Structure 1
C-alpha cells in the first residue's frame, strides 16, 4: 500500500533519480515515516532530502546507534595517522589492566576488528553504565574473554567504543568524545554529536519502537535468542529487566555523555558530512585522512562467521567493511557503519561518495534499514554517471 508524504529538500543536477527513489521508499513506508538522506561527491553536497511531519526537518537530530562507531573510530584513525597510536602494539601497553585473563597479547588492530572476546559482562550493565564509557571499560578490563583473543571475532555491539576509548584516554589524557568535538565536529559544524549539548535538545526526535507487520513478527518470533548466548550478552539482554535497545538514545544521560558505541545523535547531513570531511576536500579544507590512512582503515581485518551476529560479517579498523558486507556494488575499501534503528553512514573513496541516512522509527529487522540498499545504489549510480 502506498500513500503520499511530502518530500523536502534538493538534489544536484544528475541526481534527480535519487529523489525519485527516496520518494518511492517513503511512499511504501508507514504513514508516520520520518527520515533524512544526504550525500556528498568529492566534498560537494549533492543530495539533501527529508520527509516527515511538519515539525521534522533537515536539522532534526536522531539517535543513530552504532553509526556512532564511525565517529569514534575516525578519531582513532587520526591518532594512528599522527603516530600517537600504533595498530600492532598490545592494548595492554597503553592500558595495563586490560592484560588480565589472557588478554595481554591482543593488539590494538585486533581490538578494532572485534577480536577481543569481551563483548559484555555478567550481570550486565545498567542504563547509567551504558551511558558511561569509563564504567564499561572498568568492568571489562579484568574480564575473562568469551573466546581466545585474536582467534575469532564477534560484534562488540555496546562496548567497542568504550574499549577503544579507554586506549585513547590512556595515551592522550583526553576522552574520545572531546577529541571528536575538537578535531572533527566543531571545525566542520557537523550535526553529529558524541554528547549532545542541552541547547540542542529541542532538535532531538525520540526513537520510535519497531512496528513489525504480522508477517515480520512471525520472522522475529522464529529466531529467538537464549538468555545467556553471546548475542544476548553483547546486547545486554541477559539482565532481569533489560533496557530495550530502541530506548537507549531516548535517555538524556545517554545523549549527554555520547557513549562511543551507540550514543551518537545526528542528522543525515552530519553523517554524510563527517565521511566527506574524512576522505575529501570540503570547503577548502584538506581531507582529515591521508590516502595511506584511508586505505588502511578500509582494509578488511576480520571476515567470516561472526560469533555474536551468527552470520557472515566483515570488519575493517573499527568500521564495517561496507562494500563487502552491505553494498557489494561500492568500490573496494569502502568503509562506514550502520545503526540498529536503520541509520547508515559511509565513505566510498573510489567514487568520492559520502552517504548518510537517518530515520526515526526503528526499522525491521534491526541494523541498517533495508531501504538503504535502494538508496545507496541510486546515489552511487548517479555519482558514477557524472
Structure 2
C-alpha cells in the first residue's frame, strides 16, 4: 500500500491526482515524491506524499536547466553571443585544437569535451572552477561540431566559465540574483546552511534495488566515452547518489548536477521562463524561447549510445520522451528521477522530484503518464 497523497489540484486536473495516486499505491512503501505544474503562470498541481511537502532533493542533471536559463538570459541581453568563439571570452580554452569551438557548439554538447583522461576527484566535481581549469587543457574526444554527446558532469562548468569571464560573476551568482531570489524559488545552486534541514528531513538519496544492481554491473567499460563522461573511469568513482548526498556539493552547487530543489521550485522556474509569474513578465522573450527550444543536436548521442535531442543546452523534451508535447518544449531530467520542463505552446511548466533514484536511470518512467495527464488537462484549460 502506497503512502497517502497530500496537496491540491485545480478544477480540471483531477485526473492528474488520480494518476499520481495510482502510481504511489503501486510503489514501495518508502516512496517519497512531489509533483507540481503551472499553466500560463498559475499553479494548477501541487501534490506530494507523506511529509515531503517542503523537502528538498538532489536533482542531478535537472540542475542544467538553471544553468542554461542563465546562459539564455545573457544571450538575450547581448552579453553573450552564440556564434562567437569560446576563446573570445576564455582564451585558454583554445588549447588542443578547440580554438574554433563556438558558444553554440559548447552549449549543445558538440564540443567533444566530455571529461578528462585522468578523471576528476570528488572534490573537483563539486567545484566548477576546478573542472573548467582542467578541461581547458584537454583534447576533445571527437572533432568539435561533427557529432554530439552528453557532457553529463561538465556542461555547467563550461558554460559557467564563459559566464564568469563575460560578466565577472559566477553562473551561480547570476542565477541567484536574476532567477532564484526574485521568485523565492526552492531551487538552489548552492544550498545555504539554513536550508539544510529541508534536505536532511528526508532519508539520503539512494537507488532502488533494481537501479543499484544496474550500477553495480558497471555497464560501461573503463575507457569508453560514457565512462569518461560519467567519471567512472577513475580508480574509486563512488556511488552516484554520493554526489547529491555530499554537503560540499550542495554548498557549492556545481551547475551540471549539484542543484537542490523541490518540484515546486523546478516547475516555478520554468513557469517564470515562459509566463508571467508573481506579477513579473516572463524571463525569456518569445524569440529567446524559440531559440532555446529549437533543436540543435539530434540523432545518435556518442556518450549515451541512444537517440537524443538537445535544444540550446536544454533537452528537447518532446523528443524522444514525450512526443505529444508541443514543438519547442525544453527542459531537463535528472538521474534522481526528476523531470522539469516548459511547453510554451500549451503554457505548461512541470516539475517532479523523488528520493530514490529511478531504474533504469534519468527521468523516472512514471513521468510518462504523469506528464500526459497534466498536458491533457492543460490543453483542455486553454
- TM interval, short-chain normalised: over 0.9
User: In the aligned structure 1, how far is the partner of 2:256 from the partner of 2:157?
Assistant: 7
Match of 2:55 in 1: 60
User: In the aligned structure 1, how far is the partner of 2:165 from the partner of 2:192?
Assistant: 25
Pairwise CA RMSD of aligned residues? 1.3
User: In the aligned structure 2, how far is the partner of 1:380 from the partner of 1:133?
Assistant: 36
Match of 2:352 in 1: 357
Q: Would you say the 8 A contact 1:155–1:307 is kept in 2?
A: yes
TM-score (norm 2): 0.97
Match of 1:50 in 2: 48
Match of 1:97 in 2: 92
Whether 1:211 aligns to 2:177 is no
User: In the aligned structure 2, how far is the partner of 1:97 from the partner of 1:217?
Assistant: 40
Match of 1:254 in 2: 249
Distance 1:206 1:229, change over 3 A: farther
- Kindly state the Cα deviation for residue 249 of structure 1 after the two structures are TM-superposed: 1.2
User: In the aligned structure 2, how far is the partner of 1:111 from the partner of 1:371?
Assistant: 31
Match of 2:115 in 1: 120
Aligned residues: 379
Q: Secondary structure at the match of 1:254?
A: helix
- Kindly state the Cα deviation for residue 223 of structure 1 after the two structures are TM-superposed: 7.6
Whether 1:36 aligns to 2:34 is yes
Gapped regions of structure 1 (runs ≥ 5): none
- Kindly state the Cα deviation for residue 127 of structure 1 after the two structures are TM-superposed: 1.1
Match of 1:9 in 2: 7
Q: Secondary structure at the match of 2:315?
A: coil
Distance 1:384 1:90, change over 3 A: same
- Kindly state the Cα deviation for residue 217 of structure 1 after the two structures are TM-superposed: 7.4
- Kindly state the Cα deviation for residue 28 of structure 1 after the two structures are TM-superposed: 1.4
Match of 2:295 in 1: 300
Structure-to-structure mapping, 1:253-292, within 5 angstroms: 253-292=248-287
Distance 1:257 1:222, change over 3 A: closer
Q: Secondary structure at the match of 2:331?
A: strand
User: In the aligned structure 2, how far is the partner of 1:327 from the partner of 1:98?
Assistant: 36
- Kindly state the Cα deviation for residue 225 of structure 1 after the two structures are TM-superposed: 1.2
Q: Would you say the 8 A contact 2:58–2:258 is kept in 1?
A: yes
- Kindly state the Cα deviation for residue 221 of structure 1 after the two structures are TM-superposed: 7.5
Q: Secondary structure at the match of 1:338?
A: coil
User: In the aligned structure 1, how far is the partner of 2:304 from the partner of 2:2?
Assistant: 36
Q: Would you say the 8 A contact 2:339–2:350 is kept in 1?
A: yes
Structure-to-structure mapping, 1:67-216, within 5 angstroms: 67-204=62-199, 205-213=202-210
User: In the aligned structure 2, how far is the partner of 1:12 from the partner of 1:366?
Assistant: 31
Q: Secondary structure at the match of 1:50?
A: strand
Match of 2:16 in 1: 18
Gapped regions of structure 2 (runs ≥ 5): none
User: In the aligned structure 1, how far is the partner of 2:115 from the partner of 2:26?
Assistant: 37
